[in-house]
C-alpha cells in the first residue's frame, strides 16, 4: 500500500562516488534516489536504484521480482521485505506511483543478498552516508530551541531569526578559517575585528562594548546588536567566506586580505542602508535597557544549546 503522506517526504538524487563502483577512470555519473521521511526522521533509499547499480540490469524491476521469488522461503530475506516501505513518487506524467524504499540499515542487509562484484564497495560506502541529515535536523532543533529562548527573553521573532542566521553564518566562517590555516586564539580576533571595523567604521577606541555600555562579563555582545547591525554584519561575513572559497585563500595573510575587502563591502552596505533609511546602523541600544518584566524572563530562560556557540565571538 502506498504511503499517502507524500507531503512529509523530500526526494533527492545522491551521486555514488567512483571508488564505490570500482571504476575510478570512468566519467559516468551514477545516482540513486533517496527520500527523507519526516515521520521516521530517516533516509529511505530506492530499492530499484540499488538493484540497477549492483547488477547493471536493463530491467531491474524484473530482476527484483525474480530475487524475491528465489528467496521467498528465506526467513532472513522475508524479514528484509517486511521492512521495505512503498512510498509515493511522482512520475514524468505527473502521477504518483508507489516505489519501494528501504532505510540504510535495511539496504545494507539487502545489498549482501545480491551477487555482485561491487556489493562490498557499495556496502562500505552506504555505511558511511546518511548522517549529514541527522546533523542538519539536530542543528535545526537547536536553532528552534534557541529561538524560543530569545523570544522568552522578550526579543522579537524577527530579531531572533536575524541573530540565529548571524550565528550560523559566523560559525561557518570560522570553520573556513580553521581549515585554511588560522588559529582560533591567535588569529580569529584579528580577522573578526578587520571585518567589524570595515563594516561599522568603529575603531578599537569606540568599541561596540563601549557604545552599548555593556558590562565586561557579557560574553556575546552580538546578543545586544540590533536587527540592522546583525543583518549588515552577516552580509559582510558571508562575503568574506565566499571570497575565501573563490580565491582558495590559505594562510593568515590571504585570509586577512579577504577580510579587509569584506569589511569594505560591509561598510558600503551600511552607508547605503543609512542613506536609504535616514537612520544610523550602529546603535547604543542593548538588551539591558529592556523592561524589568522581560529581564525577569531572561533569568528563567533555558540555557542555549552550547554546540551553536562552538566558537567564541572574539572581538565582536
Cell numbers representing residue 100 in the block: 519501494
Shared-domain flag, residues 153 and 281 = yes
Give residue 312's pLDDT band: very low, low, confident or very high (50, 70, 90). very low
Q: Sheet of 30-37: strands edge to edge? A: 9-16, 30-37, 42-46, 96-103, 85-90
Residue 287 pLDDT exceeds 90: no
Shared-domain flag, residues 80 and 24 = yes
In a domain, 232, yes or no: yes
Shared-domain flag, residues 291 and 177 = yes
In a domain, 315, yes or no: no
Domain count, the chain: 2
Residue 42 pLDDT exceeds 60: yes
Task: Please give the residue range of the domain that contains residue 32.
Answer: 6-129
Shared-domain flag, residues 94 and 145 = no
Structural contact between residues 280 and 207, judged by C-beta atoms closer than 8 angstroms: no
Q: What is the mean pLDDT of the chain?
A: 81
pTM: 0.56
- Of the residues 129, 148, 169, the one at which a domain ends: 129
- Of the residues 77, 108, 129, the one at which a domain ends: 129
Cell numbers representing residue 277 in the block: 533609511
In a domain, 287, yes or no: yes
3-state secondary structure of 44: strand
Give residue 296's pLDDT band: very low, low, confident or very high (50, 70, 90). very low
Shared-domain flag, residues 141 and 119 = no
In a domain, 314, yes or no: no
Shared-domain flag, residues 85 and 141 = no
Shared-domain flag, residues 118 and 26 = yes
Of the chain, the percentage scoring pLDDT greater than 90 comes to: 36
Shared-domain flag, residues 161 and 297 = yes
Shared-domain flag, residues 45 and 181 = no
Amino acid at each position: 500500500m502506498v504511503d499517502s503522506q507524500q507531503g512529509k517526504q523530500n526526494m533527492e538524487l545522491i551521486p555514488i562516488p567512483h571508488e564505490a563502483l570500482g571504476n575510478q577512470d570512468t566519467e559516468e555519473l551514477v545516482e540513486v534516489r533517496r527520500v527523507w521521511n519526516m515521520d521516521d526522521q530517516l533516509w529511505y533509499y530506492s530499492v530499484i536504484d540499488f538493484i540497477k547499480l549492483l547488477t547493471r540490469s536493463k530491467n531491474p524491476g524484473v530482476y527484483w521480482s525474480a530475487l524475491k521469488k528465489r528467496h521467498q522461503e528465506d526467513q532472513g530475506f522475508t524479514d528484509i521485505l517486511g521492512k521495505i516501505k512503498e512510498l509515493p513518487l511522482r512520475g514524468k506524467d505527473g502521477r504518483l506511483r508507489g516505489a519501494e524504499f528501504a532505510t540504510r540499515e535495511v539496504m545494507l542487509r539487502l545489498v549482501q543478498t545480491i551477487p555482485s562484484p561491487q556489493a562490498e564497495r557499495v556496502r562500505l560506502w552506504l555505511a558511511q552516508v546518511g548522517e549529514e541529515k541527522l546533523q542538519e535536523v539536530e542543528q535545526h532543533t537547536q536553532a528552534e530551541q534557541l529561538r524560543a529562548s530569545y523570544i522568552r527573553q522578550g526579543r522579537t521573532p524577527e530579531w531572533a531569526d536575524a541573530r540565529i542566521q548571524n550565528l550560523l553564518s559566523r560559525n561557518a566562517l570560522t570553520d573556513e578559517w580553521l581549515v585554511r590555516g588560522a588559529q582560533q586564539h591567535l588569529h580569529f580576533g584579528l580577522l573578526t575585528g578587520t571585518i567589524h571595523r570595515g563594516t561599522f567604521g568603529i575603531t578599537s577606541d569606540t568599541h561596540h562594548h563601549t557604545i552599548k555600555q555593556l558590562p565586561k562579563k557579557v560574553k556575546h555582545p552580538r546578543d545586544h546588536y540590533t536587527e540592522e547591525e546583525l543583518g549588515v554584519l552577516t552580509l559582510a561575513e558571508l562575503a568574506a567566506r565566499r571570497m575565501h572559497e573563490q580565491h582558495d585563500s590559505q594562510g593568515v595573510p590571504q585570509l586577512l586580505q579577504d577580510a579587509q575587502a569584506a569589511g569594505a563591502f560591509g561598510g558600503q552596505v551600511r552607508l547605503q542602508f543609512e542613506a536609504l533609511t535616514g537612520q544610523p546602523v550602529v546603535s547604543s541600544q542593548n538588551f539591558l535597557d529592556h523592561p524589568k518584566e522581560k529581564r525577569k524572563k531572561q533569568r528563567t530562560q533555558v540555557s542555549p544549546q552550547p554546540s551553536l556557540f562552538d566558537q567564541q565571538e572574539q572581538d565582536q
